[in-house]
Chain A
């Protein structure tokens, strides 16, 4: 069966520090991968999505970046965090067949920037 892992689960970082959130998927090949952010009291904001290794599309201009060094690995990074980067970050994967629309989400990473 397919599983998705995100880490770390919780992170407290000072303003201006770097960030790396990692997401890995098991049990599937060539998935579509997504990074979402949830700010307090708000819905889901799509940050990045990827249809393959090295292929990243950015939905919102910001100081975050994403990379996909391996088929089932998706990394969210920042060189210098801002206070506004605080939030709940969710990684998700989707397939390529008729069920492609069904997303499976990780448990999330809570980032607090102080």
Chain B
């Protein structure tokens, strides 16, 4: 089985722009969650989607949004980028019927200049 795929691997944007990140979960996994990773802060939960519905949302401003499609692929959008948004964005999928184990993608490294 292919693992969790995130695209693009690297992104460079300037302040004020918006960005869309993509995540393809493992085949059969309907739950996708997103995390922001920065040095010293660890992994901060952004949101989780299951069957196209947002189930949980972390403590991030409304500039961060996401969605999930019928094929379980998910996208995350950040509008009006700020310097502090520079981070590694990880997505993870899981098969809820087989437990809560998360499978992570390699992430998208976003740099905001």
Query: Is the A/B pair a real complex?
Result: no
Interface positions of A (Cβ within 8 A of B): none
